[in-house]
Amino acid sequence: MCVILEKEGDDDGVLLVSPNNFSAVEDNCIYRSGLPQPSNFPFLQSLNLRSIIYLCPEPYPEENLEFLRINNIKLFQFGIDGTKEPSAMSSSAITEALKVITDVRNHPVLIHCKRGKHRTGCLVGCLRKLQNWCMSAVVEEYKHFAGTKWRETDVKFLEKYDVSRIRHCLESIIYRYYGSKKRRLQYREESLQKPQMTSVL
């Protein structure tokens, strides 16, 4: 668990405690962790999050929902079952979640499941494949966060996931510039299906 001490003045400080298994996937824009606890809320505030991607089918904890409401953070929920069955990991849910991650309007974004190991690891692994990481590096990162609990079924899922699912979508996305500095991510086709959300705050 990461602990950061921020000093306010000469003697006083605020202790910021990160969620379990927390790490930056991409600095200042994409993060991963286990399920945040109330003690982690001050740390999450320091990230200035716009969005959270929650990968469990269970309802989001009410105290977490209240934190999101207060801080104007969007919740994208993709209910992926946490069992060891090979069929539990949903390619379609992973693809929809990747659409959220690759839309810069949702950054900074935190990805998490319960422990930040298997479902989160598979989603991040598929993102790495989209970033053209070699398979051995993808699996090494997955195992680093899963520890001794890593699953052969997850590794097989990562090996078989077809990144053309998301690349096909990204081909229809363009950047349009407004003025000299403003940039916004837009869909070329207005009818393009938006990422599925069970909860948006």
For the segment 125-142, the average pLDDT, to the nearest whole number, is 94
pLDDT of residue 180: 37
Catalytic residue among 2, 29, 113, 126: 113
What is the Rg, in whole angstroms, of the alpha carbon atoms belonging to the chain? Answer: 17
Give strand pairing partners of 32: 23, 111
Q: Where are the alpha helices (DSSP H) in the chain?
A: 41-46, 62-71, 91-101, 118-130, 135-146, 152-160, 164-170
- Nearest CA to 27 among 6, 47, 43, 55? 47
pLDDT band, residue 190 (cuts 50/70/90): very low
Predicted TM-score (pTM) of the model is 0.78
Highest-pLDDT range among 6-10, 32-36, 146-150 = 32-36
Cis? peptide before 59, omega within 30° of 0: no
Taken in order of first residue, the domains within the chain and their CATH numbers are 3-179 (3.90.190.10)
For the question of residue 113 being annotated catalytic, the response is yes
